[in-house]
Chain A
Amino acid sequence: MPVTKVLTAGIGEVDLRNIEVYRSRGGYAQWERAVKTLSPADVLKTAQDSGLRGRGGAGFPTGRKWQFLPANGKPRYLVCNCDEAEPGTFKDHMLLEEAPHLVLEGILLGAYGIGAHHAFIYIRGEFKRGYQIFCEALQAARQAGYLGANVFGSGYDLEVTVHRGAGAYICGEETGLLNSLEGKRGEPRLKPPFPAVEGLYGCPTVVNNVETLAYLVPIMEKGAAWFAAVGSEQSKGYKIVSISGHVRNPGNYEVAMGTPVAELIEIAGGLRPGRKLAAVQPGGGSSACIFDEHLDWGYDYESMTKAGSMLGSGAVVVFDDTTDFVAAAYNLVRFYSHESCGQCTPCREGGHWLERVLERFVAGRGVRGDLEMMHRISSNITGLNLCPLGDSIEPFLKSVLDRFPAQFEARIARETVPA
């Protein structure tokens, strides 16, 4: 199965930031059609029938997420999550900068599908360039009459607000994002209530990833059946996979769900000459590694889960046999320790102490018993926090501890901690 360009079509070939170029390729036609001829329920049904699942990490079925919104007379909000910060993921960054109108059309369709009159896009603070590009696209679309009051004379009002984050990984978690959007510290909320019931300003809210919303455009154009025909049993359609690490041509590649992992590595140019594969992290920094024995498995939600990992945000990091997995584990644990918001003790303290222990290993001063202690600390973090950040610390560490114990043991220098 080769690369299939759906969302990535035209990127790197034409200037999709230009609204005329985007329009000449059929851009905004689905939005116009939806507003003029379809009801929100039609859009929702199409999203649901397509089998589209959230592309931000959790993989929740998009249509079902929309259905949870109660009809309680309160305003509804759609929030596009462009706070991409999962280590190894760089697809939303590309879509935002290279195809801003596609992202916007997806937001418009999503907002219409849930009956929202105000949509937001939360853009990671570091994406300053992307923010400017998107603001310009939004301005052009507004001038063209694609949003605002009474869109296409249909009587439907829709406003879109661009909101910049300011450097906090945790704001990618949807309730942390909503708090941040409300002008608060980006600390995740206790759930339930879920955002569908009490989200932004206490109103029913859907938070969808950039890529998820963008896929609504081709799905509306080609039909739910077109999308659902591709992929595996539980993973329909296409996915942009961000491939990086020890490959020759790292980049974003759009493939059908279920493409074998080995093929993904080949698509990215394969390993460097003379190197052998050691491990693949298939779903961003939060996911456990998979190994040689999983290479012919399909890259889809269910297979990656079965392999003991997850598809996550679709960030594939490839490690060859030169990798220092002690340093790699330290790098990721330090990341989560740094990004913990500090609300929950297991995550705040556990992450910090794991980081300290691993720091010792990186310096070659590990203590006998540390390996067992790291297992114990991590098992006391997972599942005990308000949000999934804490649960993200253990998988990579555990998978490489189990697979490459020799690398860790080689750094044990002492039998006990000196008194």
Chain B
Amino acid sequence: MSDHATGNDLLRPECERIIAQYEEKRSALLPLAHLFQEHEGYVSREALRVIAQMLELTPAVVESTVSFYSLFFRKPVGKYVLQVCRGLSCSINGAPEIMAYLRRKLGIGSLETTEDGLFSYEEVECLAACDRATCMQVNLEFVYSLTPQMIDEMLAAMRAGTYPVAPMARTDSPPRTWKIEPQAQVATGRRTAGATDVPSADDPGGVGDRSGVIMLDRFVDKTAAFRDRTSERLARDPAAVLHVLEEEDAGH
């Protein structure tokens, strides 16, 4: 694991345990996203970056992967996520009526969250409980053979805070418990487009130029162009000065 990963003390041991289960650490991507979502209510941008660091991937790769899976939320959701099955077996056994009832009761449509932040609602694909149609999940706990009366009771209990399923982790408070130290971004050596194979963690890569143009000039031996662009870059980004000057001194 990168020395610069700074996931909080609470999650770090669990993250390490998960990663150690696999021959290749990238396999831990989904489990880690699950873990962070459990703690934060959704997979935040910060979580993506922490996961990327731990697995030595770019945040873009992690984001691309996470976005493939419908159970990962990329923005805050309600305390109770209600996911009703719209599969065929449920559909021919009352699901359309149940869904209409829920939409009316909640005042929202599929993939929406109520204004009070209490409920998110989604109509999902077959939940593999066709013998107990219509079924739904509340924060991934099954509820079977739904009736309007059951829905009334469930919603009332959720509003009263007495519903037996744990609410989703709240996303507004307490504040997030992990952060990334700014320096770590550079040190992974993987940030700059066009310079993904930066030789060492100490190499600044394209000094933060996401276009990668500077590095390209350097590789194709256009020394003058490299110097011009670097100067231009330095003018915009004083923080990069030190790295580049050191490089020049070393005779590059």
CB within 8 Å of B: which residues of A? Answer: 75, 84-90, 92-93, 118, 124-129, 161, 163-169, 180-187, 201, 242-246, 250-252, 285, 315, 317, 319, 323, 327-328, 331-332, 335, 338-339, 341
Q: A88-B88, A126-B128 are in contact. Are A244 and B133 (CB under 8 A)?
A: yes
CB distance from A166 to the nearest CB of B (A): 4
> Most chain-A Cβ atoms within 10 A of its Cβ — which of B65, B72, B137?
B65
Please judge, given known A-B contacts A185-B65, A250-B131, whether A85 and B31 are in contact too, CB under 8 Å: no
Please, which residues of chain A bring their CB within 8 A of the CB of B133? Answer: 244, 250
Evaluate whether A328 and B91 lie within 8 angstroms (CB atoms) in the complex, with A125-B69, A128-B140, A183-B55 already known. yes
Chain A residues, Cβ within 8 Å of B24: 182-183, 201
Q: A85-B125, A90-B130, A317-B89 are in contact. Are A126 and B71 (CB under 8 A)?
A: yes
Contacts of A201 in B (CB 8 A): 23-24
A-B contact count (CB 8 A): 139
- Within the assembled complex, what's the spacing in Å between the Cα atoms of A287 and B132? 22
B interface, size bucket: 35 or more
Contacts of B129 in A (CB 8 A): 90, 93
Using A180-B30, A201-B24 as known contacts, say yes or no to A168 and B64 having CB atoms under 8 A apart: no
Is the CB–CB distance between B128 and A93 below 8 Å? yes
How far is it, in angstroms, between the C-alpha of A323 and the C-alpha of B70 when the chains are bound?
30
Most buried by B among A85, A87, A181, A187: A87
Judging by beta carbons under 8 Å apart, are B128 and A89 in contact?
A: yes
Asked if B106 CB lies within 8 Å of chain A CBs, one says no
**Chain B contact residues, CB within 8 Å of chain A:** 21-24, 26-31, 33-34, 55, 64-65, 68-72, 86-89, 91-93, 125-133, 137, 140-142
Q: Is the CB of B26 within 8 A of A167?
A: no
Complex interface: chain B residues within 8 A of A243 (CB): 131
Give 9 A-B contacts (CB < 8 Å), ordered by A residue.
Answer: A85-B126, A128-B141, A166-B33, A180-B30, A183-B24, A184-B26, A245-B130, A335-B87, A338-B125
The CB with the most chain B CB atoms within 10 A, among A244, A328, A339, is that of A244
Closest to B90 in A: A244
| Minimum distance in angstroms from A208 CB to a CB of chain B | 18
- B140: contacting residue among A92, A126, A317, A335, CB under 8 A: A126
From residue B161, how far is it (CB to closest CB) to chain A in Å?
21
Please report the C-alpha to C-alpha distance between residue A237 and residue B133 in the assembled complex, in whole angstroms. 29
Instruction: Flag if A166 contacts B131 (CB, 8 Å).
Output: no
* Smallest beta-carbon distance B230→chain A, Å: 36
On chain A, the residues within 8 Å of B22 by CB distance are 161
5 smallest CB-CB distances across A and B, nearest first, come from A183-B29, A167-B71, A166-B69, A244-B130, A167-B70
